[in-house]
């Protein structure tokens, strides 16, 4: 049997050496400063309200002369949706957004410094020669009313990022830096390398980072003129949302990673996996850049930001959290964030003084500093482009060039997957049905394929949702050529220890098997891949995207017409976010519609908006999941949450025409979020007795 463990021990040695260099503070001293310009209506960001340009910056200086090194890469951080005013301390409760609209907080409250929550990462990155600035999106955006086509204001967040980058481009070209940054207008002149820019976004900030990337590279974009010759090299997202805008936002031509905290209680449906699935199955040869998912067990949504001090998590199924009930932060979770974010940008943005082993690639072991804290799974593709991958079986309904043959006791079912996954194979086996027999699955190509120049066999695997098994799944893989010769068995257990899936849906990881370890077959004439299921005696797994990868390959086996495009140019595999019905429904008798106002909305060309305010004793929280009002199958997503003394309120804004259509509906009204699986609110429709006629 091929010795995969020896292969991994070799890479463990290399990785330990590389990370030993990475984990110490970098060679530069770090200085910091903050800038904040007066709030104003800036049409480049939002035309209907005031926003402001506010950020904290960190920059490296040489220890010998105190100067910023020339051509320093630039990294931008953006937080997600959160309250803008808080009260108390350790933890501070950020439960209102008064600052969003007024620029001040009420007595007893302080302004929430949402952008300061990543200082621990920014300072570390700056010590390695990066200029880093973290944006505050409080004014006009955080907790603000959505606009048509941008319910979560994530396109606005993208424009906010680009507006800041325009500022930095000006400071790089002229002595115009604000005095609050060391009182030196020429501080950054000629110091920034705009060909090496990276973006990091948390939650709605993650989709905001993707928005900035897409808005910049749009054909005819104004931003390419405002920030000429900028090259965004990498995007790192933490627990991001997806689909809160009218645009489908991916990161096709850039290195991209998403952190998934398994105990997330805000974006609890793991929407950040959707872009990965879309990019994996986009059928074109022009894709560029590695895509990856970094799955952190025991982590929640909030504690990657040290200023988000409320624990939103509902707990960790089948495993231990990285916090206790008394905690208002998680140093272990933040340590992982600090190390993996730094590793990502040092690997892909700028010229690192050390060779960094890519910690996101499953071929490399997880660094000991992280693996001793918690379990990590990784979903990965070196590049999903048709020019770099041989797609052996993507388990699509219309695929005809692969036969799936099973033994007695093995049953397979091709189906669509969760979170926009176009195809997966559900495999059930029971070895006890036939004495002495093995449960097997063979994937056989109609015509043999040449894998002699391939680097790895990659496939994605998951247990079904909410499953816990007494022994870890294990199976053998064998490659079989056209003459029937088989490779030595390759054990799944050499690559993964899979015994539970705490999520309620599939949570995939990618297994990568180096081809150079495969012996005994003609690699130019591969016919089949065989799975022999060993344990448990009866079990179930989900498989997706069985592919061979070679970065220099130009092979194309799968006809791109399988992924058919609709009339809007969108992949039909993209689906509307699923409305899960596993949440707690709040149906308190005090749930009421308390106010209906008719508004003249300048943002909507003078059309009439109707503001419907709902009240509940069960608190509406300012989170990153997007509140949705559902009435007789219609969905509305422009809202603002407010707090009052005796109850919590949320106001939805809908058009007058929609109001007239729903006011007499007999159906109940439901408020929920497609990203948050835990709660929903139920209301009776009393609109027919409120404002019976337009005033």
Confidence (pLDDT) at 413: 96
Please tell me whether residues 213 and 274 are part of one structural domain.
Answer: yes
pLDDT at 691: 52
Q: What percent of the chain has pLDDT over 90?
A: 77
Express each pLDDT in 68-109 by its tens digit.
999 999 999 999 999 999 999 999 999 999 999 999 999 999
Q: Per residue in 102-156, pLDDT tens?
A: 999 999 999 999 999 999 999 999 999 999 999 999 999 999 999 999 999 999 9
pLDDT tops 60 at residue 568? no
Question: What is the pLDDT at residue 688?
Answer: 78
Mean pLDDT across the stretch 635-651?
A: 89
Overall domain count for the chain: 3
Q: pLDDT tens digit string along 473-490?
A: 999 999 999 999 999 999
Task: Flag whether 567 is in a domain.
Answer: no
Helix (H, G, I), strand (E, B) or coil at 326: coil
Residue 69 CA, distance from chain mean position:
32
| Residue 449, pLDDT above cutoff 80 | yes
Q: Give the SS3 label for residue 684.
A: coil
The last residue of one of the domains, among 381, 397, 416, is 381
Residue with tokens 């928005």: 211
Q: 397 pLDDT exceeds 60?
A: yes
**Is residue 566 pLDDT above 50, yes or no?**
no
Question: Per-residue pLDDT for 577 more than 60?
Answer: no
Together in a domain, 393 and 501:
yes
Quick check: is 571 in a domain? Answer: no
- pLDDT tens by residue, 335-361: 999 999 999 999 999 977 666 778 999
Residue 355: per-residue pLDDT: 63
Has residue 588 been placed in a domain?
yes
Predicted local confidence at residue 606, as pLDDT: 53
CATH of the domain at 615: 2.60.40
pTM for the model: 0.91
Task: Report if residue 579 sits inside a domain.
Answer: no
pLDDT of 605 higher than 80? no
Q: What is the pLDDT of residues 269-299, one digit of tens each?
A: 999 999 999 999 987 777 889 999 999 999 9
Q: Which of 260, 257, 286, 287 is nearest to 271 (CA)?
A: 260
Q: What are the backbone dihedrals phi and psi of residue 641, each rounded to the nearest 5 degrees, phi first? A: -100, 135
Does any domain span residue 575?
no
Query: Per residue in 668-694, pLDDT tens?
Result: 899 999 888 889 999 999 887 755 444
Q: Is residue 615 part of a domain?
A: yes
**CATH number for the domain that contains residue 270:** 3.40.50.1820
Sign of CA dihedral 156, 157, 162, 165: positive
Distance CA 501, CA 578 (A): 19
For residue 442, give its domain range.
389-562
For the chain, first and last CA: distance in Å? 80
Residue 614 pLDDT greater than 80, yes or no: yes
What is the percent of the chain where pLDDT is above 70?
A: 89
Question: Stretch 614-634: mean pLDDT, rounded?
Answer: 93
β-bridge partners, 110:
86
For 22-79, the pLDDT digits (tens) are: 444 889 999 999 999 999 999 999 999 999 999 999 999 999 999 999 999 999 999 9
Mean pLDDT, residues 557-563:
33
Who's near 371: CB < 8 A, 6+ residues apart?
A: 365
Same domain, 459 and 555: yes
Residues 547 and 641 in one domain: no
pLDDT tens, position by position, 504-525: 889 999 999 999 989 999 999 9
Residues 430 and 372 in one domain: no
Judge if 181 and 278 occupy the same domain: yes
Q: What is the pLDDT of residue 632?
A: 86
pLDDT tens digit sequence for 354-384: 667 789 999 999 999 999 999 999 999 999 9
Q: Across residues 317-327, what is the average pLDDT?
A: 92
Residues 156 and 193 in one domain: yes
Q: Are residues 542 and 625 in the same domain?
A: no
Q: Please compute the mean of the pLDDT values over residues 601-626 and round it to a whole number.
A: 82
DSSP letter assigned to residue 563 = S
Q: Is the pLDDT of residue 4 over 80?
A: no
Q: What is the pLDDT of residues 525-542, one digit of tens each?
A: 999 999 999 999 999 999
Q: What CATH number does the domain containing 485 carry?
A: 2.60.120.430
607 pLDDT tier (thresholds 50, 70, 90): low
pLDDT at 613 over 70: yes
Same domain for 433 and 501: yes
Examine the pLDDT at 447 and tell me if it is beyond 70. Answer: yes
Pair 653, 597 in one domain: yes
User: Can you say whether the dihedral through the CA atoms of 547, 551, 555, 559 is positive or negative?
Assistant: positive
Question: Looking at the domain assignment, is residue 288 inside a domain?
Answer: yes
What is the predicted pLDDT for the residue at 354? 63
- Predicted confidence at residue 646, as pLDDT, reads 76
Integer Rg of the chain from CA: 26
Do 240 and 116 lie in one domain? The reply is: yes
Q: What is the mean pLDDT of the chain?
A: 89
441 with 530: CB under 8 angstroms? Answer: yes
In a domain, 306, yes or no: yes
Contacts for 473 with CB less than 8 Å, ≥ 6 apart? 463, 492, 498, 499, 535, 536, 539, 541
- Which of 347, 381, 415 represents a domain boundary (last residue)? 381
Residue 10 burial class via C-beta count within 10 angstroms: exposed 0-12, middle 13-18, buried 19 and up: exposed
Predicted pLDDT of residue 406 = 95
Out of 323, 354, 381, pick the residue that ends a domain. Answer: 381
pLDDT of residue 581: 46
Q: Identify whether residues 554 and 640 lie together within a single domain.
A: no
């Amino acid at each position: 049997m091929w010795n995969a463990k020896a292969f991994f021990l070799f890479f463990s040695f290399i990785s330990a050496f590389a990370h030993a260099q990475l984990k110490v503070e970098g060679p530069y001293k770090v200085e910091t400063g903050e800038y904040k310009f007066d709030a104003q209506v800036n049409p480049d960001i939002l035309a209907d309200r005031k926003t402001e340009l506010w950020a904290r910056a960190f920059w490296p200086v040489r220890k010998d002369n105190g100067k910023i090194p020339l051509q320093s890469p630039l990294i931008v951080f953006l937080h997600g949706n959160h309250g803008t005013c808080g009260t108390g301390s350790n933890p501070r409760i950020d439960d209102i957004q008064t600052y969003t609209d007024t620029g001040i907080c009420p007595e007893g409250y302080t302004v929430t410094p949402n952008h300061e929550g990543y200082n621990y990462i920014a300072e570390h990155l700056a010590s390695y020669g990066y200029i880093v600035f973290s944006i505050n999106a409080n004014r006009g955006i955080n907790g603000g009313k959505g606009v048509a086509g941008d319910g979560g204001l994530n396109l606005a967040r993208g424009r906010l990022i680009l507006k800041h980058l325009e500022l930095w481009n000006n400071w790089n070209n002229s002595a115009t830096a604000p005095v609050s940054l060391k009182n030196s207008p020429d501080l950054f002149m000629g110091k920034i390398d705009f060909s090496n820019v990276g973006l990091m976004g948390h939650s709605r900030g993650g989709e905001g980072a993707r928005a900035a990337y897409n808005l910049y590279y749009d054909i005819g974009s104004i931003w390419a003129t405002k920030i000429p010759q900028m090259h965004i090299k990498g995007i790192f997202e933490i627990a991001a949302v997806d689909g809160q805008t009218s645009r489908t936002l991916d990161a096709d031509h850039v290195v991209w990673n998403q952190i998934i905290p398994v105990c997330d209680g805000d974006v609890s449906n793991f929407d950040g996996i959707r872009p990965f699935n879309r990019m994996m199955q986009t059928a074109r040869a022009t894709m560029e850049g590695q895509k990856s998912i970094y799955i952190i067990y025991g982590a929640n949504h909030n504690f990657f930001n040290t200023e988000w001090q409320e624990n939103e998590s509902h707990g960790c199924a089948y495993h231990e959290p990285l916090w206790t009930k008394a905690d208002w932060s998680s140093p272990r979770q933040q340590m992982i964030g600090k190390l993996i974010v730094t590793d990502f940008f040092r690997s892909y943005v700028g010229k690192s003084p050390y060779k960094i082993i890519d910690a996101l690639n499953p071929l490399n072991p997880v660094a000991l500093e992280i693996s001793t804290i918690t379990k990590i799974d990784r979903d990965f593709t070196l590049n999903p482009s048709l020019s770099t991958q041989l797609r052996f079986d993507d388990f699509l309904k219309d695929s005809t060039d692969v036969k799936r043959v099973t033994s007695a006791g093995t049953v397979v079912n091709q189906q669509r997957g969760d979170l926009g996954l176009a195809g997966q194979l559900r495999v059930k086996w029971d070895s006890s049905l036939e004495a002495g027999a093995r449960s097997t699955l063979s994937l056989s190509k109609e015509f043999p394929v040449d894998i002699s120049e391939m680097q790895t066999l990659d496939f994605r695997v998951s247990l079904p949702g909410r499953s816990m098994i007494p022994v870890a799944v294990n199976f053998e893989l064998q490659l079989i050529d056209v003459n029937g010769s088989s490779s030595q068995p390759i054990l799944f257990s050499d690559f993964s220890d899979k015994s539970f899936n705490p999520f309620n849906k599939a949570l995939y990881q990618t297994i990568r098997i180096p081809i150079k370890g495969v012996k005994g077959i003609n690699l130019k004439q591969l016919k089949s891949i065989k799975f022999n299921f060993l344990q448990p005696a009866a079990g179930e797994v989900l498989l997706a995207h069985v592919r061979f990868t070679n970065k220099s390959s130009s092979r194309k086996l799968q006809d791109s017409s399988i992924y058919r495009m609709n009339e809007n140019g969108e992949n039909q595999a993209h689906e509307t976010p699923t409305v899960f019905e596993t949440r707690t429904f709040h149906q308190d008798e005090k749930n009421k519609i308390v106010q209906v106002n008719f508004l003249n909305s300048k943002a909507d060309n003078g059309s009439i908006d109707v503001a419907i305010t709902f009240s509940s004793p069960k608190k509406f929280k300012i989170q990153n999941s997007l509140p949705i009002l559902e009435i007789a199958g219609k969905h509305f997503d422009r809202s603002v949450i407010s707090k009052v003394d005796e109850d919590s309120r949320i106001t939805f804004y809908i058009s007058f025409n929609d109001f007239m259509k729903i006011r007499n509906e007999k159906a109940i009204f439901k408020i929920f979020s497609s990203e948050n699986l835990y709660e929903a609110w139920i209301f009776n429709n009393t609109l027919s007795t409120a404002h019976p006629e337009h005033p």
